[in-house]
Structure 1
């Protein structure tokens, strides 16, 4: 690697030259980042909006239906979403670094291995859907909410298997920067979903059964359309057909998938638990509705951060895979600055619309007033969530999943969750107290991730990426 340029005698000229190079590098990296992040953010927003729009329409039926669908989406489907996305995120490390190293054929094999693992995982998760009513009662939901949410969850079993195929496909396409394909498919499905949600839920009066039918079909349309694109185009050599290599080296693949799942699930479940704990308050329907509305708004904002999460994991893994550690370091800096700026803009929007956005989801005045009260906490949450998922994306790109999992346990479940319970129940601050304590956990985790990223030896990370690609590539080559 070239040596760093020594300082010249004319320090002012040297500093000016460094500043110009930094600005040029920042602009160049921003273009690369946005080419991936822009379509990915829009894709995430479209796919997240499938569930959010379902809640918008069910909220027009009544408070109980909104609370039940919110709990089902947040707890049951949220659990499955976190597990599947987390295990599928192992591909962000492996596919991204393999693509950066020029090992294109490995991507299709990796995706098939992930399919095998996630489909088996989905089978093990079926009992959670089937027995969701007693599970929800066990964690403190009222029988009324639990029964309706359980019925909706049972109808949503097809979505579970759509998740297991969708996330490996997404990581496969993202690693090759084929993000525009995902965007057009997701946007078309969102239009379909919006119309048929209105038709089945409200116009034909199918209620939450219509919501389940539409949501299942929409997710499977996404999976089928993306799969057809891969099978037809061959994805420039990344897809060479189904192979028995999908069943080779599964043990090591499972270990990385589990580490990724634990890391991301601990993050997803953390905010999911906010809805669960709120359900243990006295007269929980109004606060649960209010929190679920805020979680929907936070979810839309989080899709922006998740888009950057995917983009930075691709950029870091690609650059580390090709041995360009300086570019990886610059990518981290650029995405951090960009995402924080967007987070502050989102906070301003939340504060400006706090008296209006609740009525998108509900006709109930008590629910709307409670939601407006929580908007201040929502504003701070969207700022923190603009940076924290991005730093998690850096961790995925570099392969630090196990380390981040330990950090998440400490910050979220040792600090944030107990603090929220203490403020919400012991000090009687209700939903606001629960949420405040949990914000503390997010803040602590973000600070720790900033420190770790700042002191990372990126040259060493590039060497480890090269070793990882050589190990996995050799395993595949030996089976040919």
Structure 2
């Protein structure tokens, strides 16, 4: 009897173990399935976004290479315009366009499809007005640089180059907004195809117009203008002629209504991204006032170039995080929004960790890709540990910024950026660099501390956030603007 009872107990225990094993396998299968589905959605946005940014960055680098063969004055002037003026314009316009990422992403998730077209048109209006405000900086570049004490020949040449850059700046109005509009729908593969075409065409035209036709600076800048506008026309053609039938229903007078709330969100977005994009510019400017500044700036520019290429990956994940979070909040799923945040953060951190290790292993030889100077190479190697940590931080921080964009927290992040970058990072860098004589390393340490503080604060905000409440807030925002736009757009749509 006792043996029968023991046998039954053992059988019951085995049954429970089998059931537990089956449940664990089902849970594992369920998790693996969720990861597979989520990563497919993630890379549909992140892959094209990363490649497109590599292409855009590549256009600038290729142009710089051709300008460098024209003359030293032209190269110096091009460097000033592209790294200071265009970063200034790029930061403002890209930042303001990121409001569209919030609105389109949430509207698409909520299946308010026709609102995407209205938001797109509103962003065109806002960014065009903003470009007109920025325009005088490009028109009066020469007197501005002379006023700041720049050498006359470089200031004159920079003034010429900045005029060539005006069409490039205006192309950003459509390039940034169309990319975010298409990303929200996971239809941005067309952007990748156009990026491949653009990069190849720019290399050929720069060579043909500069070398074969001997057009010099006009050849390079003319090729750059074409490289920036071809993707714009291609994306407009895709949108207008049937590529987005659900979200593009033609031009609407509703785009001119209720611009106040969109302008407010756009300004918050612009401030948020400007404060990030201008951070490295301040690092270069502060370094320029040091002893032996030439070697320091050369080494720093190489490090920032390497960091810039890696940042293209991080910014791609920023876009992907924004789209995924916005889509899920718009769809009303806090659980899926949180799952997408964890997935994109872990994926980006793994990639960043790989680059962190690779750079530490090859840090002694990477500098020679960019320079033959032993002094500069040694300076780069001396900065390599700081660069490696910057790369690691860059794998997390943009993802958290993307989460903020997807949720519509741009104004909150703007305050975080002001505090962490400009009240902590820059002052600490000045003390370490100039007072404690750590030079460029001191300035960079201050910058890293500022970025680390920002990352930590955003991480705490993200973890502590009530995502169910964020779903409610997203729905309230979308329903309000949806009803207002729907009332006003009836009968006011024209053909595309």
1:3 corresponds to: none
Q: What is the Cα deviation at residue 393 of structure 1?
A: 0.5
1:248 corresponds to: 257
Give the alignment partner of residue 72 of structure 1, picking from 78, 81, 84. 81
2:494 corresponds to: none
2:305 corresponds to: 296
After the TM superposition, which residues 37-436 of structure 1 pair with which residues of structure 2 at under 5 Å, given as runs? 37-59=46-68, 65-133=74-142, 135-136=144-145, 146-201=155-210, 206-282=215-291, 284-362=293-371, 366-436=375-445
Q: Which moved more, 1:19-28 or 1:330-339?
A: 19-28
Please list the CA deviations of residues 345-365 of structure 1 after superposition, one character each: whole Å capped at 9, or x if unmatched. Answer: 122333344444445445655
Distance 2:449 2:31 in 1: 34
Q: Which moved more, 1:82-91 or 1:42-51?
A: 42-51
Distance 1:359 1:206 in 2: 31
Please list the CA deviations of residues 257-315 of structure 1 after superposition, one character each: whole Å capped at 9, or x if unmatched. Answer: 00111111111111122222222334544433332332222122111111111111111
Q: In 2, are the aligned partners of 1:82 and 1:269 still within 8 Å (CA)?
A: yes
Q: In 2, are the aligned partners of 1:141 and 1:280 still within 8 Å (CA)?
A: no
Q: What is the Cα deviation at residue 44 of structure 1?
A: 1.6
Distance 1:409 1:42 in 2: 30
**TM-score, scaled to structure 2:** 0.88
Bigger CA radius of gyration: 2
Counterparts in 2 of 1:197 and 1:289: CA distance versus 1, 3 Å:
farther
Task: Give the alignment's Cα RMSD to 1 decimal.
Answer: 2.6
Q: In 2, are the aligned partners of 1:75 and 1:272 still within 8 Å (CA)?
A: yes
Counterparts in 2 of 1:352 and 1:214: CA distance versus 1, 3 Å:
farther
Q: In 2, are the aligned partners of 1:67 and 1:289 still within 8 Å (CA)?
A: no
**TM-score, scaled to structure 1:** 0.90
Counterparts in 2 of 1:385 and 1:477: CA distance versus 1, 3 Å:
same
Distance 2:300 2:218 in 1: 23
List runs of 5+ in structure 2 lacking aligned partners.
Answer: 1-15, 491-496
Please list the CA deviations of residues 408-457 of structure 1 after superposition, one character each: whole Å capped at 9, or x if unmatched. Answer: 00000000111122222223333222222111111111111111111111
Q: In 2, are the aligned partners of 1:98 and 1:321 still within 8 Å (CA)?
A: yes
Give the alignment partner of residue 472 of structure 1, picking from 474, 477, 481. 481
2:446 corresponds to: 437
Counterparts in 2 of 1:113 and 1:150: CA distance versus 1, 3 Å:
same
Q: In 2, are the aligned partners of 1:339 and 1:386 still within 8 Å (CA)?
A: yes
Please list the CA deviations of residues 339-388 of structure 1 after superposition, one character each: whole Å capped at 9, or x if unmatched. Answer: 01111112233334444444544565554554444333222111111111
Please list the CA deviations of residues 13-40 of structure 1 after superposition, one character each: whole Å capped at 9, or x if unmatched. Answer: 6777655544442333222211221122
Q: In 2, are the aligned partners of 1:59 and 1:362 still within 8 Å (CA)?
A: no
Distance 1:24 1:137 in 2: 61
Please list the CA deviations of residues 70-119 of structure 1 after superposition, one character each: whole Å capped at 9, or x if unmatched. Answer: 33222110011111111100111110111111111111111111001101
Distance 2:412 2:258 in 1: 23
Q: What is the Cα deviation at residue 204 of structure 1?
A: 5.6
Q: Which moved more, 1:387-396 or 1:357-366?
A: 357-366
Counterparts in 2 of 1:70 and 1:400: CA distance versus 1, 3 Å:
same
Distance 1:267 1:404 in 2: 10
Q: What is the Cα deviation at residue 209 of structure 1?
A: 4.4
Q: What is the Cα deviation at residue 474 of structure 1?
A: 0.7
Counterparts in 2 of 1:67 and 1:433: CA distance versus 1, 3 Å:
farther
Q: What is the Cα deviation at residue 222 of structure 1?
A: 1.7
SS of aligned partner of 2:245: helix
List runs of 5+ in structure 1 lacking aligned partners.
Answer: 1-8
Q: Which moved more, 1:414-423 or 1:389-398?
A: 414-423
Q: What is the Cα deviation at residue 237 of structure 1?
A: 2.5
Q: What is the Cα deviation at residue 60 of structure 1?
A: 5.1
SS of aligned partner of 2:251: coil
Distance 1:333 1:135 in 2: 46
Distance 2:477 2:203 in 1: 44
2:493 corresponds to: none
SS of aligned partner of 2:278: helix
Q: What is the Cα deviation at residue 211 of structure 1?
A: 3.3
